[in-house]
């Protein structure tokens, strides 16, 4: 399990910001090739179910080896198909879990950037106001104070950096999910995936 301190999480966020790229899940060796082979045999409906179930598994409160297998049985699979679908679900869950981490990191970064922008705008606005105030006569300054301050945002009215970051990927983590939660789930999914791949290779 990836347990990180707040300082480590901050360093991770900074590293991901610097790289500007989304990390890939840690797939077992040969998992992508096996996934391609198995997906080629699935129907469009089954592929859609795999994608939806994978996203649910990545965001669920509890993760276990039996969860994707039970989901496969409920979907109608039996015999070796249970292991096959469970593996494919966990492959998709690994992608969703990785995207959740990436999205949450970007949300933290966007919120931080937004706060910096707001502070900078306030400082700039304050500096301009001070300069204008210094150039006014005493009467004009009194009138200005009575008039009050009007703040006009330069950002588009529909701009929301945190929302925009969360919508950048196809997967949107639940509002209650923290970055640490997302990283723990990603690590758990990767562990389950390795076990599921062995089941596909050696049905049992």
pLDDT digit string, tens, across residues 8-41: 444 454 444 444 445 577 888 999 999 999 999 9
- Does the pLDDT of residue 176 top 80, yes or no? no
- pLDDT of 166 reads 47
Range of 28-42, 50-64, 151-165 with top mean pLDDT: 28-42
- Does the pLDDT of residue 165 top 90, yes or no? no
* Average pLDDT along the chain: 73
204 or 98: which leads in pLDDT: 98
- pLDDT of 155 reads 53
* Boundaries of every domain in the chain: 6-19+28-118+161-201
- Percentage of residues of the chain with pLDDT beyond 90: 30
Mean pLDDT for 181-200 is 88
- pLDDT of 25 reads 79
- Percentage of residues of the chain with pLDDT beyond 70: 53
Mean pLDDT for 146-159 is 52
Q: Give whole-number Cα distances, 49 to 72, 81, 173, in Å.
A: 10, 14, 19
- Does the pLDDT of residue 110 top 60, yes or no? no
Mean pLDDT for 31-59 is 93
Residues near 173 by Cβ (< 8 Å), separated by ≥ 6? 59, 100, 103, 104, 166, 182
């Amino acid at each position: 399990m990836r347990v990180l301190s707040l300082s480590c999480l901050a360093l991770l966020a900074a590293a991901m910001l610097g790289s500007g790229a989304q990390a890939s899940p840690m797939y077992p060796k040969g998992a992508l090739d096996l996934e391609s082979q198995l997906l080629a045999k699935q129907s469009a409906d089954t592929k859609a179910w795999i994608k939806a179930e994978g996203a649910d598994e990545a965001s669920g409160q509890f993760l276990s080896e039996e969860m994707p297998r039970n989901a496969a049985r409920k979907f109608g699979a039996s015999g070796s198909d249970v292991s096959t679908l469970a593996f494919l679900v966990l492959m998709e869950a690994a992608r969703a879990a990785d995207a959740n981490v990436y999205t949450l990191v970007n949300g933290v970064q966007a919120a931080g950037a937004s706060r910096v922008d707001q502070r900078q705008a306030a400082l700039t606005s304050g500096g301009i106001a001070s300069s204008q105030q210094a150039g006014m006569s005493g009467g004009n300054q009194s009138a200005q104070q009575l008039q009050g301050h009007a703040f006009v945002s330069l950002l588009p009215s529909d701009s929301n950096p945190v929302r925009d970051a969360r919508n950048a990927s196809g997967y949107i983590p639940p509002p209650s999910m923290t970055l640490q939660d997302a990283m723990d789930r990603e690590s758990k999914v990767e562990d389950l995936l390795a076990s599921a791949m062995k089941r596909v290779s050696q049905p049992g």
